[in-house]
């Protein structure tokens, strides 16, 4: 067996003897030949030339980092896209929200109602993000961490157009530009 190892000692690939390792070596990875086959390469690493198991604490820390990255990706995708792939809130709409709020304040009429509704929705989604993030950080075991749902579907069920907690107001730029919005 051949193990491909990154600079931190993590095994990133397990290859059979005779495999071409040139690409990995060109990328700066170490190649360890004559190694034993491992069923779960993520559970092991090379340290000082020896194969050692990864501690439970290190496994939990790695899993938390992966879960946080998944959370960030899910919430960003949720805010940007609806389930059908249509745009939910893109950069242009975000700028139009800011402009509508500034125009309302400058004109003395205050922040338009539709802008306030969207601001409240954004605050609710942000709060959910920070609650999920806190649950990830507080997880004391891999089992607890697995219970923290950070999927796009979790956000959609609560904050999408038919959400159970704070439904998406589904505001469009044209609505913001109407007088009295």
pLDDT digits (tens, 9 = 90+) for 74-133: 999 999 999 998 888 877 777 777 888 888 888 888 888 888 888 899 899 999 999 999
Angle at 155 between CA 153 and CA 161, to 5 degrees: 95
40, exposed or middle or buried, with CB in 10 Å at 0-12, 13-18, 19+? exposed
Q: Give pLDDT tens digits for 18-48.
A: 889 899 889 888 888 877 766 666 677 777 7
Give the whole-angstrom CA distance, residue 151 versus residue 75. Answer: 8
- pTM of the full structure: 0.70
* Average pLDDT estimate for 156-166: 94
The larger pLDDT score, comparing residue 101 to residue 158, is at: 158
The larger pLDDT score, comparing residue 6 to residue 83, is at: 83
Give the whole-angstrom CA distance, residue 37 versus residue 153. Answer: 37
Q: Where are the beta strands (DSSP E) in 16-148?
A: 30-33, 44-47, 50-53
Instruction: Break the chain into its structural domains and give their ranges.
Output: 2-54, 57-177
pLDDT of residue 55: 82
């Amino acid at each position: 067996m051949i193990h491909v190892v990154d600079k931190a000692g993590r095994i990133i690939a397990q290859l059979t003897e005779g495999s071409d390792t040139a690409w990995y070596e060109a990328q700066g990875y170490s190649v360890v030949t004559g190694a034993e086959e491992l069923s779960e390469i993520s559970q092991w690493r090379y340290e000082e030339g020896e194969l050692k198991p990864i501690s439970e604490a290190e496994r939990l820390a790695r899993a938390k980092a992966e879960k946080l990255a998944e959370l960030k990706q899910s919430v960003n995708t949720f805010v940007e896209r609806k389930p059908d792939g249509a745009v939910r809130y893109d950069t242009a709409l975000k700028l139009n929200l800011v402009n509508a709020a500034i125009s309302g304040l400058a004109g003395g009429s205050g922040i338009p109602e539709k802008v306030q509704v969207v601001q409240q929705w954004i605050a609710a989604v942000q709060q959910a993000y920070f609650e999920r993030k806190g649950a990830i950080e507080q997880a004391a075991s891999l089992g607890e961490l697995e219970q923290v749902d950070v999927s796009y579907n979790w956000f959609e069920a609560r904050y999408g157009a038919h959400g159970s907690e704070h439904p998406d107001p589904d505001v469009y730029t044209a609505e913001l530009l109407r007088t009295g919005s």
